[in-house]
Amino acid sequence: MDDYSIPELMAVCLARDLRDGELLRVGVATPVAEAAVRLAHLTHGPNMELVFLGARMNVAHLDTIPMPAFGWDSRAVRWAESYSDTGHRFDRLKDWSNSVFFIGGIQVDPFGNTNLIGVGSDFRRLRFRGPGSVGTATLSTHVGRYYIVLNNHNRRLFVEKCDYISAYGWGSGGADARSRIGIPGGGPKYCITPLCVMDFAEDSKRMRLKSLHPGVKLETVKQATGFELLVPDILPTTEPPSAQELQILRTRVDPSGRLRRG
């Protein structure tokens, strides 16, 4: 079974890590994460709750959960059961330990800190002005865990040090990097790219290769990463989508083939 695209592989890989009962918050313009939560909802998440555009829904009863007919389409509210936190988005942070989020970035450092602000040493005259933090400073502080999901893997993205940090991951490292400054959320769990899956070493919280996508060489990843990655002794290959996963993904989540083209 090797007839799948890289975005499909990434979506399936993320979906498998999501647990029933979790509340999944998906941000803007992240098709891989959008597909992942829908797929998980259909395969093993009848009690998952999905939040799109502030609309909270459980849609496991639907035959298909297509993209992009909801998500960033305002008609998503058709399926809503309520608005996230009754319209007051940050009124129930206490319960966010059960929430999962997906984050992007224009820079990522070895400790999973991410930057959406910009690139350049002078904040008033950035070389590249980013889109801004959206809700990621608060989300990354409070959600039970999050995934760094990137559509590219290169040395401009993976840098030794972010010019600015908009979401605090594991700071300057160490298992207590978050607890020692009083940040309750569980932090970034994996970073997934078109080349590989990475996690964070238990003690140092430094980024570590977890699996290489089928056909990707270790050397390729090393060269595309602007800092030294930890590499485990045993380095498996990312498990490809099963026939069943691909079938559900293609017929019930992404019938228009957005991820295949991506």
Partner 1 sequence: MNTRRRERIIDEVEAASWLEDGMTIAIGQPTPMALVRQIIRRGLKNLTVVDAGFSLDLLIAAGCVRKVITYYAGGGFGIPVMPAFRHAAELGEIEIWECEEGILCAGLQAAAQLLPFLPWRGGVGTSLPEVNPDLKVFTDPIKGETLLAVPPIKPDIALLHAATADMYGNVQHYGGPGWIDLFMYRAADRTVVQVERVISNEQVRADPWKTTIPAADAIVRAPFGAHPFYSRGFYVQDNEHLREYSSLSSDFAAGRTEGMTMYLERYCRRPPTHADYLEEIGIKRLLSLHEY
* Near partner 1 in 99-118, by CB under 8 A: 106, 115, 117-118
In the complex, the smallest distance separating the C-beta of residue 198 from partner 1, rounded to whole angstroms, is 21
In the complex, the smallest distance separating the C-beta of residue 61 from partner 1, rounded to whole angstroms, is 8
The one among 2, 3, 124, 261 contacting partner 1 by CB under 8 A: 124
In the complex, the smallest distance separating the C-beta of residue 38 from partner 1, rounded to whole angstroms, is 16
Residue 254's closest CA among 100, 71, 76, 77?
71
For 21, counting Cβ atoms within 10 Å of its Cβ (0-12 exposed, 13-18 middle, 19+ buried), the class is: exposed
13-52 footprint of partner 1 as x/- string (CB under 8 A)? -------x-------xx--------------x-xx-x---
Spatial contact of 169 and 187, defined as CB atoms under 8 Å apart: yes
Strand duo 188-192 + 49-52: pairing: unpaired
Residue 236's closest CA among 216, 220, 212?
212
Spatial contact of 191 and 171, defined as CB atoms under 8 Å apart: no
Q: Please tell me whether residue 69 binds partner 1 under the rule CB under 8 A.
A: no
Q: Please tell me whether residue 139 binds partner 1 under the rule CB under 8 A.
A: yes
In the complex, the smallest distance separating the C-beta of residue 70 from partner 1, rounded to whole angstroms, is 12
Reported in sequence order, the residue ranges of the chain that DSSP labels E, i.e. its strands, are 23-25, 49-52, 55-57, 82-83, 99-103, 107-108, 114-115, 118-119, 128-129, 145-149, 188-192, 196-200, 207-212
Stretch that binds partner 1, among 3-11, 81-89, 194-202, 233-241 (CB under 8 A): 81-89
Binding residues for partner 1, rule: CB under 8 A, are 20, 28-29, 44, 46-47, 49, 54-56, 58, 60-61, 72-75, 77-94, 106, 115, 117-118, 123-142, 162, 164-168, 171, 181-184
